[in-house]
Amino acid sequence: MSFYTFDTRIMLSVVSSLSEFELPYAIASGGANGTATYMTLIYRIAFTERKIGLASAMVIILLLQIALFSLLLLEVPKFLARIYENKRGIEQ
């Protein structure tokens, strides 16, 4: 398995877990008893409390978190590979 395939699988897994909505909402009626996820909280704020602006801001923050994590997941291995290659070149 390629390293980039592994990166892609991790990234998709994290993004899907951050945006999980259906299962907690269907099982616990919107996140009762401590099962609320970030998305169920956004849904409750937007549609139950009618605070659309706050919910929109929360979605933008989630988008920025996912973008930052994706960037780190894609760039850090390249950076570490360059450091490893430089150290290998110095040792030889």
Residue 72: predicted pLDDT = 85
Percent of the chain whose pLDDT exceeds 70: 83
Three-state secondary structure of the chain: CCHHHHHHHHHHHHHHHHCCCHHHHHHHCCCHHHCCCHHHHHHHHHHHCCCHHHHHHHHHHHHHHHHHHHHHHHHHHHHHHHHHHHHHHHHC
Residue range 32-36: average pLDDT?
69
Check: pTM over 0.95? Answer yes or no. no
Q: How far apart are CA 32 and CA 79, in angstroms?
A: 43
Structure tokens belonging to residue 70: 């994706």
pLDDT over threshold 80, residue 23: no
Pick from 6-10, 57-61, 66-70: least confident: 6-10
